[in-house]
Amino acid sequence: MSEATKKYSDKMSGAVDHLVKELKAVRAGRANPAVLDKVTVDYYGSSTPIQQVAAVAVAEARVLTIQPWDASLLHAIEKAIQCSDVGINPIDDGRMIRLVFPAPTEERRKALTKDVQKMGEEAKVAVRNVRRDAMDKFKAQKKANEITEDDQKNLEDEMQKVTDKFVKEVDKVCEEKIKEIMEI
């Protein structure tokens, strides 16, 4: 890979990494601590992620436990989860909070699948935008006589191959998530 396409490849890789991170927060019916990544609790006046004030663990396939290090935070964590878009009612037993993930209905699975496909399409658009920027840069370099027409053609071909690779990677990531969602 040439130096010219390397930086664009890194940008495309960033788009795929972002997609993977976003897909972790999609609830597929099994307990996943990543669903709490965006939930924050008021801890002595500052908004703090739950993972920084409590031990979050997967107790069973569909049960997530949250045990705060400071027992006085139990009620605040419960309130934060209820106010968030997690969509699960927390169960407080006085020492820890349990989140029981229900198995999604067939209708919910189909809706989640559509969401995943939409996220995948957005990631592909981001990858293609990076390719467009690269192609424009190569054309500008050719116009300024910084590179030859053959160099421009080679760089464009190389950029297209890199783009195709990342589009396939996005498809693969989305397929795996959809498979996970559709499992019973």
What's the mean pLDDT in 70-84? 85
Residue range 135-156, pLDDT digits in tens: 999 999 989 988 888 988 999 9
Q: Residue 91: in which H helix or E strand, if any? A: strand 91-92
- Token look-up 């399409």 returns 121
What's the mean pLDDT in 29-49? 81
pLDDT exceeds cutoff 70 at 72: yes
- Would you call 93 helix, strand, or coil by DSSP? coil
- Would you call 97 helix, strand, or coil by DSSP? strand
Return d(Cα 122, Cα 128) in angstroms, integer: 10
Task: Give DSSP secondary structure letters for 9-68.
Answer: HHHHHHHHHHHHHHHHTS--SS--GGGGTT-EEEETTEEEEGGGTEEEEEEETTEEEEEE
Model-level pTM? 0.70
